[in-house]
Amino acid sequence: MSKIAIDVMGGDNAPDEIIKGCIQASKKADFTLVLVGPEALIKEKLAAFTYEPSKIEIVDAEEVIEMEESPTLAIRQKKKSSMVIGLKLLKEGKVDGFMSAGSTGALLTGATLIVGRIKGVERPALAPFIPTQKGCSLLIDCGANVDAKPSYLAQFARMGTVYMQQCMAVPNPKVGLINIGVEAEKGNQLVKDAHKLLLVDESINFLGNIEARDIPKGEADILVCDGFVGNIVLKFMEGFAKWILGMLKIEFLRNLKTKLAAFLLKKGIHEIKGKFDYATKGGAPFLGVNGLVVKTHGSSKAEEVCVTILQTEGFIKNQLVEKIKMNFTESAN
């Protein structure tokens, strides 16, 4: 039975929503959750729930890394924080995965410094899914590396390919490089050079450049970019979805006729809303780390925490980290 460590103090809604999500997840699958945080506080919060004690463990951590803190300083100075202790548990092999809703910068720094990178991987990348007309596409990187080299992007494509093959059952995932035009000569030097590397990599199915307006079409299973571009794409889509849904609500409530139309379209509206509901999408793994580290939204509530924990269990069962290691080992030989 696998063990997953949870940063109970990470995120805007910690510890209440994190613990509530843990309890929900513990009732849906067979694994042990290791709750990392102030022991007395965790026990106090757990007292409000009914759960199977054998599926919940507690590891005391008296410090908390706040969102606004410098990532490097926080990881180095707060050795007793829930994030640092959780990452150490992963490094020491005491747990099979670690999940946090805390600071993305601190989690990446901690994962790199404490857990380390897979041999051959230059930089880990954060890889969430974004909704498209055809379902969803993997966006890699979306914030871990705001400054990148062409070789980083080439490796992101390889790691994303392994992810889609092993965890999403897509046998030959299509890779697109986000750019300002589809032509190979378009874009900045980073994208031009990355295009050349992707074009000759026989381990991936490279489609070529993808313009931003074509991202929602879902032609590419994997969208490759640096973390600066990826973060803008992700947050724009989140904000645009909220705006569209908000405008629809205003229009449908305008008068009796529009309210009737809304009633008739209720099922379709809920389906559209569901495509943009990030609470049902879970978190994103840091691909390239020598251990399973999963980040969920800082604003996550119990439902998203639960989904992310179940997703993390899926990564463990599908041996995501081991398969990426194998890919880079084989390419080095």
* Cis amide linkage into residue 15, ω under 30° from 0: yes
pLDDT of residue 194: 97
CATH architecture of residue range(s) 129-275: 3-Layer(aba) Sandwich (3.40)
Task: Report d(CA 296, CA 139) in Å as an integer.
Answer: 15
If phi > 0 it is left, if psi is from -120 to 50 it is alpha, else beta; for residue 269 that is alpha
- CB proximity list for 135: less than 8 A, separation 6 or greater: 218
Query: Residue 80's beta-bridge partner residues?
Result: none
Q: What CATH class has 3-121+288-319?
A: alpha beta
Residue 176 sits at φ, ψ, to 5 deg, of -120, 145
Residue 246: per-residue pLDDT: 87
Per-residue confidence at 151, pLDDT binned at 50, 70, 90? very high
Q: pLDDT value at position 325? A: 93
Residue-level pLDDT at 68: 85
Which pLDDT does position 278 carry in this prediction?
57
pTM: predicted TM-score of the whole model, two decimal places: 0.89
- Cα-Cα-Cα-Cα torsion 310, 90, 326, 101, nearest 10 degrees, comes to 50
The residues, ordered by sequence, that sit 6+ positions from 203 with a Cβ below 8 Å of its Cβ are 158, 161, 327, 331
In the chain, residues under CATH classification 3.40.718.10 are 3-121+288-319, 129-275
Reported as a single tens digit per residue, the pLDDT across 98-137 is 999 999 999 999 999 999 999 999 999 999 999 898 889 9
Q: What is the mean pLDDT of the chain?
A: 92
3-state secondary structure of 170: coil
Q: pLDDT for 227-283, tens place per residue?
A: 999 999 999 988 888 888 888 888 888 888 888 877 777 787 777 666 666 556 678
Of residues 331 and 329, more confidently modeled: 329
